[in-house]
Amino acid sequence: MRIVAGTRKGHRIDAPKGAATRPTGDRVREAVFSIIGPVDGAAVLDLFAGSGAMGLEALSRGAASCVFVERDRAAARVIQANLDKLRLVGATVVSADVATALRGERDRSQRFDLVLVDPPYDAWARFEPELAELLSTVVTDDAMVVVETSERVEPALPFDLVTTRRYGSARITVFNA
């Protein structure tokens, strides 16, 4: 996998070993950032970060900061190694479950301009109610929320739907807060 655009364009990034992590492919990342447009100066939250590919892409494209949330400690170490290798600054890696991390960000009054959500494809239904409740507490008034799910799943969150598009086995759904 490589960074698609920005200051680290073309640089390789590593993914955690095993089948538990499904990194967002280059083509899908490029499509997502084409839809959402410039991220210069944005505060980004990457939930279910896995390899961190989406948040790393945002930082490469000019985001001011990114909080990566990944429960799996081995995957969190890979994200940190990618950040170190790419020499990207403004990032924090949180090794916790998403609900705990969202409550922590809410309690610190953190607000994000862009939220990237990529849970395990078979688990969206389990996470959707909690995400619907907690995401609104950590986004700015004009934030964008990007959700990656299986092509068969159409996520519903309490935000305005911008678009939903299929890319192979993935569906990208973009919301405005």
- Token pair for residue 13? 């990034």
CA angle 22–27–33, rounded 5-degree value: 100
Radius of gyration of the chain measured on its C-alpha atoms: 14
* 39 in any annotated domain: yes
pLDDT for 171 equals 95
**Which residues have C-beta within 8 Å of that of residue 166, sequence separation ≥ 6?**
151, 172
Q: Where are the beta strands (DSSP E) in 118-157?
A: 139-150
* 34 in any annotated domain: yes
Given a contact cutoff of 8 angstroms between Cβ atoms, the answer to whether 119 and 95 are in contact is no
What is the chain's pLDDT, residue by residue, as a tens digit (177 residues)? Answer: 888 888 888 888 888 775 455 567 778 889 999 999 999 999 999 999 998 999 999 999 999 999 999 999 999 999 999 999 999 999 999 999 999 999 999 999 999 999 999 999 889 999 999 999 999 999 999 999 999 999 999 999 999 999 999 998 899 999 999
pLDDT for 19 equals 47
Q: In which domain, by residue range, is 32 found? A: 26-176
pLDDT for 23 equals 67
* 4 in any annotated domain: no
The H or E element spanning position 52 is none
- What is the value of pTM for the model shown? 0.93
Q: What is the DSSP letter of 123?
A: G
Q: Which residues pair with 116 in a beta bridge?
A: 46, 146
Given a contact cutoff of 8 angstroms between Cβ atoms, the answer to whether 31 and 57 are in contact is no
For residue 114, which of 39, 27, 57 has the smallest C-alpha distance?
39
Count: domains in the chain: 1
Residue 172 belongs to domain with CATH number? 3.40.50.150
